[in-house]
A and B are shown apart, each in its own frame.
Chain A
């Protein structure tokens, strides 16, 4: 099966078309759903439509976008916004380290470009066995896949922004809730107990920290919760 798929995708043009075709399915729905909610949130806190679309294309990381927007709405300073966005986006570092070598010999500019196009979804699809294995075909496949997703993200953000502006209030509230709902299902879908411990710690710590230090609550709950899970989880790990 795998060899057959590889033979069909050996040519970069065919691989690009395959990447496009695969992206127009579940990945497109996931990206659009998330960005629709972000567009509504951006409208709710007073971003212009072009600022919302800019966020989805140049940040291209839903958690960083939502966290920055929320903190901005609460009047946080730029340093706090930068730290919170950086903490949620750190995942791109290990993801890039794992994905980029599979594209073969690509120059630094090319690696940076692929690393910007990369999302959690594109990464997961490239790591599946159904993706092409030949480096040049993988590069074409990923480029087409990710460009399709980022285009859908821009359009969905605009749609969410316009929806929040024009739809009746109940529907606009439904769009707003999608942000929280997406993160919820992402966070509870963990196989690792240590990750679940981090999720539970962050969720439980937010209320008490917010009561004492409302400005710093997100950052502190994140750092404390992550550290608790790191230390406890390490101790619980089997030593082998």
Chain B
């Protein structure tokens, strides 16, 4: 991956700065802003939408090794994750483990 434009630690520090700004802003403005106001609500909704787009990208159009698996396998693992979450009284860990187990099993069958 030497063709990537920046060293990894520079990317890490940029992401750290972009996150730290909000933490510091909260520490400075505490007591002077309404955490339930419209601006905060827009940012919260936008971060949900961006994360949902990220999930679609990670599963649907992966850039790394996950692209080696067929799209049907990835879609099946998503279905299993959500089903186990729903049936398992909305507990995150069993759902994540079940979805990942699907990927492992499918990759193992494909390789063997």
Contact = CB atoms under 8 A, between A and B. Distances in A.
A112 to B, nearest CB: 5
Interface residues of A, number: 108
Interface in A183-211: 183-190, 194-195, 198-203, 205-207, 210
A219 B65 contact: no
Given A93-B40, A176-B64, A182-B92, A222 B26 contact: no
Interface of A: 26, 29-30, 33, 41-42, 44-48, 51, 54-55, 58-61, 63-70, 72-75, 77-78, 81-98, 100-101, 108, 111-112, 114-116, 118, 169-190, 194-195, 198-203, 205-207, 210, 217-219, 221-230, 233-234
B49 A202 contact: yes
B94 to A, nearest CB: 10
B48 A198 contact: yes
The interface size bin for chain B is 35 or more
A26 B68 CA distance: 33
Contact of A174 (B3, B27, B95, B104): B104
Nearest to A60: B19
Contacts of A188: 82, 85
A226 B42 contact: yes
A82 B50 contact: no
A207 B56 contact: yes
Contacts of A183: 51-52, 54-55, 58
Nearest to B5: A75
Contact of A230 (B33, B41, B106): B41
Given A70-B63, A84-B50, 11 more contacts: A29-B93, A75-B4, A90-B40, A115-B23, A173-B107, A181-B100, A185-B96, A187-B48, A206-B53, A225-B45, A225-B50
Interface in B64-112: 64-66, 68-69, 74, 77-78, 81-82, 85, 90, 92-93, 95-96, 99-101, 103-108, 111
Given A85-B15, A181-B81, A226 B54 contact: no
Across the A-B interface, give the 4 residue pairs with the lowest CB-CB distance, nearest first: A96-B26, A222-B50, A226-B46, A225-B49
Contacts of A173: 65-66, 68-69, 103-104, 107
Chain A interface SS verdict (over half): helix
Contacts of B48: 187, 190, 195, 198-199, 202, 225-226, 229
A4 B34 CA distance: 33
6 contacts: A73-B63, A75-B3, A82-B17, A90-B47, A91-B44, A176-B66
Contacts of A33: 93, 96
Contacts of B81: 181, 184-185
Contact of B96 (A170, A178, A189): A178
Interface of B: 1-6, 8-31, 33, 35-36, 38, 40-61, 63-66, 68-69, 74, 77-78, 81-82, 85, 90, 92-93, 95-96, 99-101, 103-108, 111
Contact of A97 (B13, B26, B51, B104): B26
Contacts of B41: 230
Nearest to B94: A185
